[in-house]
Amino acid sequence: MRKLLLLVIVLATGQSPIFSQTAPAANPLASDVEKVSVEINSQVVAWRRDFHKNPELGNRETRTSKIIADELRKLGFEVTTGVATTGVVGVLRGGRPGPVVALRSDMDALPVTEQVDVPFKSTAKAMWNGQETGVMHACGHDNHMAILLGTATALARMKDRLPGTVKVIFQPAEEGPPPGEPGGAEQMIKESVLENPKVDAVFGLHVFPYRVGQIVYRPGPIMASADSFVIKVKGRQTHGAVPWAGVDPIVVGSQIVVSLQTIISRTVNITEAPAVVTVGRFTGGNRSNIVPEEIELEGTIRAFDENVRKDIQRRVASIATNIAESAGATATVTYTLGYPVTRNDEKLTERMLPTLRRAAGAENVHLGPLTGTAEDFSFFQQKVPGMFVFLGVTPKDQDPTKVPANHSPLFFADESALPVGVKVMTNLALDYLFGGK
C-alpha cells in the first residue's frame, strides 16, 4: 500500500517526495545573478548567433576555441587551451577559500546541412568521412557555449565574493572525434581536466525539445550508455541453386538478428533498467544466385545500468558465436564502447533541486523520463559527483512532441531560454560553493 501511495504521489506531482523538501535560503549573490543575466543577455545572444553561423566539427573547433579563450582571458580567468586537441579550460579563483565546482559545455557541431531559415543560418562546409558536408549546430551546442560564457561573465563580476573556485570546461568532440583520433570528455579527463585544482562537483545542461524555459531533471540514470557492435559471419560460398553445398551466412545472420531480440525480451528486467539492442545494418552478397562467403551486421546497444550493459555485450557475443557454430559457420564480434550511462548523483541532485526551482521557477522544473540518447558528460560523472539537466527550447506556440528534435537539419532553439540557462548554471555554481563540500 505504501508503494502504491508513493507511486500516486509521483504521478500526481511529477516528482519524488524525497525532493519536496523546503528550499534553503538563496546564496547571498542570487539577486546579483538576476540583474546580471538581464544586463548581459544581448551579448549571450550575440555569442550564440556567432557560434551558430560558424560551426565547426569535433576536434576542429579552432575558431570557436579562440573566441572562448579570448573572452575568458578578458574576464580574468586563468586559461588553458589545446586540451584534448581544441578544448579550453578556465579557472576563476574566488576571494575566499572553498570547494571547486566545474561547469561544462560542449563545442562541436554536426555534419548536417541546415534547413532553418534564420539570419544567422550556417552555410559552413567541411570534410567528414571523406565527403564534403554541410555543418550545423543541430544539437544546440552553440546555446551551451553562449550560456556558459554568460555564466562565466556573471561569476567573474562576483569573483572577490566567491568562497571557492570555478572551473569552466569547454569540451570538443562530444559528438565524437574524427575516426582514429582521441577526443571528447574521456580525453579531457586523461589530460587532467578535473585536477589542478581538483574538482568536487560538475554540472552541465543540454537544450532539448521541451517547452522553452523548462528544466527537466532526473536523479540516477537520465541518459543511456551507447555502444556499437559489428558481427561478421563467415560461411562457405556456393551456387544459390545448391545451398546444401555451402554454408549460408545470410540465413545464419538472420537467425542471429532474431535471437538478439530475446536478450531484451527474456533476459533483461526492463521494469528496473530498460535496454535496447538494435541491428541497423545487414550487409552481404552481390548477386541473387550466389550464397556469399561472408555477411556483416552492425548494431547499437543502449542501457541504463552498467551491469546490464556488460551483460548484454556478453550475450550478444554468445548468441552470435553459438548460432554460427551450430550451422557450421563462424562469427566474430567486435565492440566499440561508447559513452557510459549518464547518471546524476542522487545526493547532489537532491541538494541542488531547490536551486533549479529558484532559478527557473518551481512551475518550470519537472522530473523527466529516461531518454535513450547518450552524452559523454557521463565520463565526468564517473570521476566526481555530477548533475546534468535539460533546458527546454521549444517556442511556446509549438507542440514539443511535434517539433524537429536534436540532430535534425530543422532543429530550432528559442533564444528566450538563454537567460534561464545562465541563471541556472550560475546559481548551481554559487549554491554549491556557498554550501561547501
Domain assignment of residue 270, yes or no: yes
Confidence band for 7, pLDDT divided at 50, 70 and 90: very low
Whether the predicted pLDDT of 301 surpasses 70? yes
Whether the predicted pLDDT of 74 surpasses 80? yes
Whether the predicted pLDDT of 10 surpasses 50? no
Whether the predicted pLDDT of 1 surpasses 90? no
Q: What is the pLDDT of residues 162-203, one digit of tens each?
A: 999 999 999 999 999 998 999 999 999 999 999 999 999 999
Q: Which residue has the higher pLDDT, 209 or 15?
A: 209
Nearest Cα to 380, choosing from 236, 185, 249? 185
Domain assignment of residue 362, yes or no: yes
DSSP string of 342-383, one letter each residue: EEE-HHHHHHHHHHHHHHH-GGGEEE---BS---THHHHHTT
**Are 72 and 177 within one domain?**
yes
**Are 290 and 387 within one domain?**
no
Q: Which residue has the cell 572525434?
A: 177
Number of helical (H) and strand (E) elements in the chain, helices listed first: 11, 18
Q: What is the pLDDT of residues 26-62, one digit of tens each?
A: 799 999 999 999 999 999 999 999 999 999 999 999 9
Confidence band for 129, pLDDT divided at 50, 70 and 90: confident
Mean per-residue pLDDT, 228-237: 98
Radius of gyration of the chain (CA): 24
Domain assignment of residue 14, yes or no: no
Confidence band for 436, pLDDT divided at 50, 70 and 90: confident
pLDDT value of residue 26 = 76
Domain assignment of residue 2, yes or no: no
Name, in order, each residue with C-beta under 8 angstroms of 224's C-beta and a sequence gap of 6 or more.
276, 302, 303, 304, 341, 342, 370, 371, 372, 373, 374
- Which amino acid, residue 422? V
| Catalytic residue IDs | 339, 415
pLDDT value of residue 375 = 97
Domain assignment of residue 9, yes or no: no
Domain boundary among 339, 362, 391: 339
Strand partners, 226: 302, 339
Domain assignment of residue 3, yes or no: no
Confidence band for 16, pLDDT divided at 50, 70 and 90: very low
Whether the predicted pLDDT of 367 surpasses 90? yes
CA–CA gap between residue 339 and residue 302 (Å, rounded): 10
Confidence band for 25, pLDDT divided at 50, 70 and 90: low
**Are 270 and 413 within one domain?**
no
**Are 254 and 196 within one domain?**
no
- 353 is in which domain, residue-wise? 19-224+343-435
Mean per-residue pLDDT, 219-236: 98
Whether the predicted pLDDT of 265 surpasses 60? yes
Domain assignment of residue 4, yes or no: no
**Are 248 and 377 within one domain?**
no
CA–CA gap between residue 240 and residue 64 (Å, rounded): 56
Alpha-carbon distances of 268 from 183, 207, 229, 306, 309, rounded to whole Å: 32, 31, 19, 13, 10
**Are 317 and 259 within one domain?**
yes
**Are 177 and 76 within one domain?**
yes
Domain assignment of residue 43, yes or no: yes
Nearest Cα to 309, choosing from 318, 300, 320, 322? 300
Nearest Cα to 158, choosing from 431, 435, 430, 432? 430
Strand partners, 247: 236
CA–CA gap between residue 270 and residue 259 (Å, rounded): 17
pLDDT value of residue 20 = 39
CA–CA gap between residue 339 and residue 66 (Å, rounded): 27
**Are 205 and 280 within one domain?**
no
- Domain CATH number, residue 250: 3.30.70.360
**Are 126 and 258 within one domain?**
no
Domain boundary among 295, 320, 339: 339
SS3 assignment, position 82: strand
**Are 33 and 102 within one domain?**
yes
Domain boundary among 299, 323, 339: 339
**Are 335 and 353 within one domain?**
no
Whether the predicted pLDDT of 3 surpasses 70? no
pLDDT value of residue 6 = 35
Output phi, psi for 186, to 5 deg.
-60, -40
CA–CA gap between residue 316 and residue 328 (Å, rounded): 18
- Orientation of helix 306-326 relative to helix 249-262, angle to 10°: 150
Q: What is the pLDDT of residues 324-352, one digit of tens each?
A: 999 999 999 999 999 999 999 999 999 99
Average pLDDT, the chain: 94
**Are 287 and 350 within one domain?**
no
Number of domain units in the chain: 2
- Domain CATH number, residue 104: 3.40.630.10
